[in-house]
């Protein structure tokens, strides 16, 4: 008799579909809530550890951007142009002739004397020497500066530089030569007797004047 009665514990097909639909709705609602919690109210959240790159829109709506400083434009060749003073050409003259070193100013060797060199400075060696006297004549309208004047001597065919000695009779140039005046300076150089057949006296009056080179025999 029990087999003829309907099973009250077994749900009907319509009720089973209702239960399945409720489960699906619950799953969908739960997933939607999780999604809302992940994106937040302001949009998708950045992943942890990701670098924070400022947005371009922040510049447009935020503070005014500071312009970068402008640099001076380069030349056409890409390198700056530097003008350097050209050296004056040297003037060569015989040892007994004057030489024009600048307009209105001339120099000449007035005397060459054989002396016994005196060594008082460091590195100097006493011995046979030559004392050379150079005269500077100023015919220009302005004083000629001699504060940086230099006299050198070379001897022999190899133009060996001669060492300058402390004496005897050394006399430096004055600071300048007045217009219409002359000034002299005397200098002693250690020159062996065998090298005096050919000598060169080099006079540098100032950086703006030509270098005078006097050639001859002592």
pLDDT tens digits along 36-46: 555 555 555 54
Identify which has the larger pLDDT, 99 or 21.
Answer: 99
Average pLDDT in the chain:
79
Q: What are phi and psi of 148, to 5 degrees?
A: -115, 20
Neighbouring residues of 35: CB distance < 8 A, sequence distance ≥ 6: none
Tell me the CA distances in angstroms from 12 to 23, 50, 182, 184, one per residue in order.
17, 54, 140, 139
Provide the pLDDT for residue 54.
Answer: 47
Provide the pLDDT for residue 1.
Answer: 47
SS3 letters for 11-28? CCHHHHHHHHHHHHHHHH
What are 12's two structure tokens? 């009907």
Rounded Cα–Cα distance for residues 193 and 212 (Å):
24
Mean pLDDT over 125-147 rounds to 97
pLDDT tens digits along 171-204: 999 999 999 999 999 999 999 999 999 999 999 9
Whether the per-residue pLDDT at 67 is higher than 90: the answer is no
Confidence of residue 18 (pLDDT cuts 50, 70, 90): low
Provide the pLDDT for residue 88.
Answer: 72
Provide the pLDDT for residue 16.
Answer: 64
Mean pLDDT over 25-29 rounds to 61
């Amino acid at each position: 008799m029990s087999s003829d009665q309907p099973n009250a514990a077994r749900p009907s097909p319509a009720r089973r579909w209702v239960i399945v639909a409720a489960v699906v709705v619950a799953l969908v609602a739960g997933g939607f809530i999780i999604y809302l919690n992940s994106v937040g109210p302001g949009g998708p959240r950045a992943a942890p550890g990701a670098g924070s790159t400022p947005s371009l829109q922040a510049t447009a709506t935020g503070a005014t951007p500071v312009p970068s400083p402008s640099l001076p434009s380069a030349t056409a060749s890409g390198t700056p142009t530097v003008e350097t003073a050209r050296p004056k050409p040297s003037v060569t003259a015989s040892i007994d002739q004057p030489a024009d070193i600048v307009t209105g100013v001339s120099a000449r060797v007035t005397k060459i004397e054989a002396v016994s060199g005196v060594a008082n400075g460091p590195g100097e060696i006493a011995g046979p020497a030559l004392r050379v006297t150079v005269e500077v004549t100023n015919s220009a309208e302005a004083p000629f500066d001699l504060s940086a004047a230099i006299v050198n001597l070379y001897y022999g065919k190899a133009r060996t530089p001669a060492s300058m000695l402390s004496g005897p009779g050394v006399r430096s140039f004055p600071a300048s030569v007045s217009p219409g005046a002359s000034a002299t300076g005397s200098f002693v150089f250690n020159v062996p007797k065998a090298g005096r057949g050919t000598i060169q006296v080099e006079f540098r009056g100032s950086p703006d004047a030509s270098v005078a080179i006097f050639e001859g025999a002592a």
